Amino acid sequence: MNTIFKRALALCLPAVALGTVSLATLLNAAPPQRIKSPEDLQVYDTPRIDPATAPGRPIFEQNCAMCHMGGVPKAPSPAFLAMLPPDSIVNALTHGVMRAQGESLTRQDKIALAEYITRTPYDSYKRPAPPPVCTGSAVNFDTADTPAPIGWGRDNRRFVPAGIAQLSAGDVPRLKLKWAFAYPASNRARSQPTLAWGTLFVGSQDGTVYAFDPDTGCTRWTTRLSAEVRTAIVADPETKRLYFGDLLGKVHALDALTGKELWAHRMSDHADATITGTPTLGGGLLYVPLSSLEVVQAGDPKYACCTFRGSVVAVNPVTGEEVWRAWTAGEPKEKGKTAAGALILGPSGAPVWNSPSYDAQTNRVFFGSGENYSSPADENSDAIFAVDARTGQRIWRTQLTANDAWNVGCMIGNESCPTENGPDYDVAASPLLINTGPATRMLVVGQKSGQAWGLDPDTGKIAWEKRLGHGGTQGGIHFGMAAEGSTVFVPVNDMADTYDARIYDRKQRGAGLHALNAGTGKVRWFARAPSRCKGAKFCDPGISAAVTAIPGVVFAGHLDGMFRAYNSNTGAVLWQTDTTLPVPSIDGGTAKGGSMSGPGAAVWKGKVFVNSGYGMYSHMAGNALLVFAPDKPAKPKRSAAK
């Protein structure tokens, strides 16, 4: 690149666009890369099994493939089984739902099978000692501490009022780590902590749900389920029940005071169905969003793509039985074949990644959809839906991006990629219903395109649109926005390299935190995420995780592992900590965070609770639950008597 061009480029790029990124970085950035297979989306810091030579491969092919490769609709696909801990596979074959299928297998066969499925050496999977069990007064639940209807699964605005937070902006600079817990054998932590009845409830990658004493970290109970707890836990104040979704598409109801499972139901017959958005309580029902990993399966050019279509299912919270289902995409039908001879079935996809928002005023439920997985793209992808909360009947639908069909085959660059080839602009964050005046409201929507939208909640008509970043497959707005009054805090991810060979306009990169006026979309301030990665692998400065607001403060976890508190009036950083640094765990081991994505922080009675670690989709692995509280202010020194 010649000197004249460099000077011209320097003049063309405004300083505000560069932020902390140097011109040299932009000019010399490595070209975008592609993944070679869907397995490249996982990130591990432990030994791995080669599936081609694993002794468990023929055992799987002879005993499991006929069901788990599509023969039985409800049988989870290999993409899901690969994300289970190996001891869960062995336990299921020995004592669990697969014990009949495991009767003909020796224990060594089961171990070999578990190693092949999970790609994890069984001997390397060592569960550390459990956290200490509470004794004395620490075992008691505070039944007077009734959970408020705030956050994911309730109002979705992720604002914690002063009376619950009990943490002021002046306290935040004094936050210090009080205790930490290392999730066992984990490379990610995707279940947001929930505080209720004086207890910290949180799920983990190995399927364990913990009820911690928030002050010390001892456990009041633990319950291990069969699959990763994928969502936040919703606490029902009336029944003292906990509701959440898991990796395999099941919704669970637990007794909050004992951990006993009351019911569990899989929400779809599709082998690749999962639950990523937190179920929402409202109007006497529990609204469950369904997404899927068929978008990953479709990366195989021999795979017949695709048959999954997204939906929201309303269930009776007492029994878990389905009341109604609101579909997104139309029913898939055969449309042709790929160059590799695989069937094309469409339209498909339009998953619901986000937690539905319930509006008691109109008795409606609002939610957003993702892209179609196969051609043809239809009018239901990348759209916002309003449905009747009692019946599921569609009231309106507004599509934000048309002609979006995409799957992982597009990242790899093979013939399974739909003709539309993206752009993969899911509505991933929950729509927020915001009061903008005494009698006016706005539905604020964030999209992976890097755009925020304001919609009339009565009609779905678009009132305003604001571009905040360049967006992309791992760009734009991801897991969740927050709102204080009429100000909406919008985190933007905008990775530099999304591993799909796409080139983005770096002048539009909006990685960081934005504050918008909900009524107009006008930007009140923008805090650009500082870059501290220095070329480290799987490190990016943007904000993928959901943000959380309290009066005067917004907490945001970044993909580089930095956890920051921003002044909600100005965007100035009030406090920050590096969660990737190893810290002692209450079980005697070591907790170490990584990229922060998915869940955000919970704030309760002067403490801040947050997970760190997201060893997936080219992010840094980690296993940390971290609890912060302000140190007591130092007493002023008494001056010497004169």
Res 128 pLDDT > 90: no
**52-56, 443-447, 528-532, 557-561: least confident range:** 52-56
**64-68, 259-263, 310-314: least confident range:** 64-68
475: confidence class by pLDDT, cuts 50, 70, 90 = confident
Specify the higher pLDDT residue, 549 or 639: 549
Residue located via tokens 């810091």: 45
Helices then strands, each counted (H, E), the chain: 12, 37
pLDDT for the residue numbered 634 = 62
Q: Are 172 and 629 in contact (CB under 8 A)?
A: no
346: confidence class by pLDDT, cuts 50, 70, 90 = very high
Choosing among 2.40.128.20, 2.40.128.630, 1.10.3720.10, 3.90.1300.10, the CATH entry for 168-179+430-631 is: 2.40.128.630
Res 17 pLDDT > 50: no
75: confidence class by pLDDT, cuts 50, 70, 90 = low
pLDDT for the residue numbered 63 = 82
* CATH code 2.40.10.480 for 278-349+356-416: yes
264: confidence class by pLDDT, cuts 50, 70, 90 = very high
Residue located via tokens 């945001």: 556
Q: How far apart are CA 298 and CA 305, in angstroms?
A: 6
Give the type of residue at 38: P
Quick: pLDDT tens for 576-592.
999 999 999 999 989 99
pLDDT for the residue numbered 20 = 38
Res 460 pLDDT > 80: yes
What Rg, from alpha-carbon coordinates, does the chain have? 24
pLDDT for the residue numbered 68 = 72
**62-76, 103-117, 322-336, 497-511: least confident range:** 62-76
Q: How far apart are CA 539 and CA 578, in angstroms?
A: 13
Res 5 pLDDT > 90: no
pLDDT for the residue numbered 104 = 83
Q: How far apart are CA 210 and CA 134, in angstroms?
A: 12
Average pLDDT value for the chain: 88
Mean pLDDT within 326-344: 93
Q: How far apart are CA 478 and CA 545, in angstroms?
A: 7
pLDDT for the residue numbered 34 = 67
The DSSP symbol for 42 reads B
pLDDT for the residue numbered 10 = 33
Res 44 pLDDT > 70: no
Specify the higher pLDDT residue, 433 or 115: 433
Portion of the chain with pLDDT greater than 90, in percent: 69
Q: Are 554 and 566 in contact (CB under 8 A)?
A: yes
Quick: pLDDT tens for 417-444.
999 999 999 999 999 999 999 999 999 9
pLDDT for the residue numbered 266 = 95
109: confidence class by pLDDT, cuts 50, 70, 90 = confident
554: confidence class by pLDDT, cuts 50, 70, 90 = very high
Q: How far is it between the farthest Cα atoms of the chain?
A: 94
What predicted TM-score, i.e. pTM, was given to this entire model?
A: 0.87
pLDDT for the residue numbered 87 = 78
Q: Are 32 and 618 in contact (CB under 8 A)?
A: no
Res 446 pLDDT > 60: yes
Res 25 pLDDT > 50: no
Q: How far apart are CA 304 and CA 333, in angstroms?
A: 11
36: confidence class by pLDDT, cuts 50, 70, 90 = low
Specify the higher pLDDT residue, 26 or 541: 541
pLDDT for the residue numbered 260 = 98
Specify the higher pLDDT residue, 642 or 234: 234
pLDDT for the residue numbered 70 = 60
Residue located via tokens 């899927």: 292
Q: Are 113 and 78 in contact (CB under 8 A)?
A: no
- Token pair recorded at residue 235: 């606490």
Res 120 pLDDT > 90: no
45: confidence class by pLDDT, cuts 50, 70, 90 = low
Quick: pLDDT tens for 80-98.
577 677 877 777 777 666 6
Mean pLDDT within 504-514: 87
pLDDT for the residue numbered 65 = 74
pLDDT for the residue numbered 61 = 80
Mean pLDDT within 32-57: 70
pLDDT for the residue numbered 241 = 98
